[in-house]
Structure 1
Amino acid sequence: MAAWKQILIAAVVLVIATAAWVRFFPGAPEILERWGIDWAVASTPRTDDARNAAQAGSAPRQATVVAAPVTSATVNDRLQAIGTGRAKATVSVNPYTAGRLVEFDVASGARIKAGQVIARLDSETEEIALERAKAQRDDAKAKVDRIRALRSSNAATAVQLTDAELELRNAELSVHDAQVALDRRSVTSPISGVVGILPIEAGNYVTTQTSIATVDDRSSILVDFWVPERFASSIRIGSTLTATPTANPRNSYEGTVTAIDNRIDDKSRTLWVQATIANPADSLRAGMSFQIVMKFPGDTYPAVSPLAVQWGGDGAFVWAVEDGKARRVPVRIIQRNTETVLVDAEIDSGDIVVTEGVQSVRDGGDVMVARTGAARPAGTPAGS
């Protein structure tokens, strides 16, 4: 095919595409006017109303539209998350030294106090060492008493008395050391709480790495949960929340935020938060899952019908009706819901926006509202 024919075909296709864009794209006339191409606007086909008006020698009549009032809705006002509970304090009790486990002084599920003996190891060697240390202490004390008596009659020197007192002090420390070694043959709980299932039986040989028992302080339950980063600035220490056990949704508990992590996790984009729930009835257990609900003031935005949102060359906009005139209002979409679209725009709740008949509306043109649609409930979208 000759080059001039290819150029001619390309020019024809371009002209047809341009004419179709001017004819069918809603924002084309406005864009061409901003570019200063008035001839293209004049060449676009007129609507029947405009043609009739031109033939009658008068201005185009009012555009007839259907409109609806603007409502309002709140976002980021409610947080829902799943949390995992754990005991206020949990301790795995290990013996200080190795030895044969002789007996348990508690049973699984028993409530114990801090310092209470849980189990005992064989302690014959430590008992003998304690008695020997006590005998040496008593001998050293008697020696000091004798030297003091001799010292009063100048039969002993001050150096002899000092050496005897030092020997007595060392003997008392030996007694204390032997007593500590004997006491450590009794395994005690460092916290108050409930004893879990005992993992071993009496008679087993244990070391310092052997767990004798696990003790949980369930006076309160700590719940760990993770929240989206958009709520990071809204959560504070002391903020209240409601925790509902997943396994028993009929019961709910009030709690407070007691700890907040100092950074956002860069993989999940969530913030680690910890809450405390009182457990006076001991009905909650570590490891339970909870449905966490928190409420915030949130952000309120105008809500319009999805039909009211139009798109032009410069983005989204709506047609607001003020005193019978149409006003083009640029909008920024915040959130799309089933029945409404939340927008950031210079409109208020109660304002009227066009939902049907937008194709005949022009900025500043006369508008006649044939029917005002009922305001759809905006609701309060969940924030999580």
Structure 2
Amino acid sequence: MHSIKRRLTLTRGCACIALFLAGALTAAEQPPVSVIVAEVKQQSLVDQVEALGTLKANESVELTATVTERVTAVNFTDGERVKQGELLVEMDHAEEKALLAEERSRLSEALKQVQRLQPLAKKNAATQSTLDQQQREVETARARMDAIQSRIERRRIVAPFDGVLGLRNISVGAVTQPGKLITTIDDDRTLKLDFSVPALFLSAVKPGLMIEARTRAFPERIFEGEVMSIDSRIDPITRSVVVRAYIDNAEGQLKPGLLMRVTLQANPRTTLMIPEEALIPTADKNYVFVIANDAVTKDGVAKDRQPLTVKKREVVIGTRRPGEVEVIDGLAEHNKVVTHGTLKLSNNQTVTIRAEEKNNESLKQLLQSGKQNDSTQGAR
């Protein structure tokens, strides 16, 4: 009985030793793992800062009456595009026209008196004071004419600049009151977009910076603009600064008051990028598997005919964008990193390259490409 127990103990011990020896194989001695790799490349990158903003017209005015008077003519329709100086509304100014005609008559008479007295004054046939009094009459008449003309202009509403009119709120025959809204006019060929940016990005935002703006009204459109100015103060409550950009609206699609989602393209640079699936996050660090001897020949082995191996390398990452991540430190251009097959890898593991990502191919396309490469090599 004791001999049987000794045999079982020896058998179990041998099995454990065999398992330990099998597990003690180095990564290089294990069978090669088939992987897909991608080359580390230099690419253009910008930091994207998102914000919400509201559109405003480049110039915007509410046209209102300044006098109490009856409207005699309305020369525009809703939404009409007008030129600067174009007459929009005319009010009754018959009394002012009559007063103006009266003053023109007085001015004419005063000028005649001055012309008559000037040669007489030279001959001492008329006093200089009489001539001066008539000249004052001329100046007074001209001043009264200017005042009456101003009263007439207040009864004529013209477009202050080129733009598009809003809804008409008045009709012929109506009596206007000071402050009563007649219509609005907006210069919408170029629109202002005001939005708030956290003060953290203040150093990256400057005049001339390009932006992209989107709105739900036109979900498929991207509107480009340019930062023109930055507010001189930072809001002490929100710790943000208002930035103003200009957007070209030659097509007239956008309207003042529209909510826009803004994307700023800050800090443009050229940097190293790798596919995001190559990252292996561990706690607060990130790693990648790099082909150690990546000067390979067409048959997938190193030029010195040694099997390909991988090294686990820590990297410092920066900005992410869909499918890609910036590498600040840890890699060099033209390194090859493993994107698929990382779960089976360990440091110094031998590998075979099944396919290489070059143009954001799908995994299915890469696998098909790998099969074609395998069949080509088999034919050789």
Pick the TM interval, shorter chain: 0.5 to 0.7
Flag the 1:228–1:155 CA change in 2: closer, same or farther, 3 A. Answer: closer
Check the 8 A contact 2:212/2:262 in 1, yes or no: yes
Q: CA–CA distance in 1 between the matches of 2:215 and 2:281?
A: 45
Q: CA–CA distance in 2 between the matches of 1:145 and 1:192?
A: 45
Q: CA–CA distance in 1 between the matches of 2:215 and 2:330?
A: 44
How far apart are residue 347 of structure 1 and its match?
1.7
TM-score (normalised: structure 2): 0.63
Q: Does 1:134 align with 2:104?
A: yes
Identity over aligned residues, as a percent?
A: 19
**Which deviates more, 193-202 or 82-91?**
82-91
What's 1:275 paired with? 246
Q: CA–CA distance in 2 between the matches of 1:305 and 1:176?
A: 75
Note the alpha carbon deviations across 1:121-160, whole angstroms, 9 max, x for none: 2223323432332343234223323433432442212232
Q: CA–CA distance in 2 between the matches of 1:208 and 1:263?
A: 36
Matches within 5 A, 1:142-291: 142-218=112-188, 220-222=189-191, 224=193, 226=195, 233=204, 237=208, 239=210, 246-248=216-218, 255-257=224-226, 259-262=228-231, 267=238, 272-279=243-250, 282=252, 285-287=255-257
The DSSP-based 3-state class of the residue aligned with 1:208 is coil
What's 2:342 paired with? 355
Q: Does 1:119 align with 2:119?
A: no
What's 2:272 paired with? 301
TM-score (normalised: structure 1): 0.62
Q: CA–CA distance in 2 between the matches of 1:94 and 1:276?
A: 28
What's 1:102 paired with? 72
Flag the 1:128–1:68 CA change in 2: closer, same or farther, 3 A. Answer: same
Flag the 1:162–1:213 CA change in 2: closer, same or farther, 3 A. Answer: same
Gaps of 5+ in 2: 1-16, 294-307, 362-380
How far apart are residue 169 of structure 1 and its match?
1.6
Matches within 5 A, 1:32-71: 48-49=20-21, 62=28, 64=30, 66=33, 69-71=37-39
Check the 8 A contact 1:223/1:277 in 2, yes or no: no
What's 1:32 paired with? none
Code of the residue aligned with 2:165 in structure 1: it is V
How far apart are residue 198 of structure 1 and its match?
0.9
Aligned length: 318
Check the 8 A contact 2:274/2:324 in 1, yes or no: yes
The root-mean-square deviation of aligned C-alpha atoms, in Å, is: 4.5
Code of the residue aligned with 2:204 in structure 1: it is S
Q: CA–CA distance in 2 between the matches of 1:146 and 1:109?
A: 57
How far apart are residue 85 of structure 1 and its match?
4.9
- Select the residue among 318, 324, 333 that pairs with 1:334: 318
The DSSP-based 3-state class of the residue aligned with 1:166 is helix
Q: Per residue, is there more strand in 1 or in 2?
A: 2
Code of the residue aligned with 1:224 in structure 2: it is L
Gaps of 5+ in 1: 1-44, 54-59, 362-366
Flag the 1:140–1:199 CA change in 2: closer, same or farther, 3 A. Answer: same
What's 2:373 paired with? none
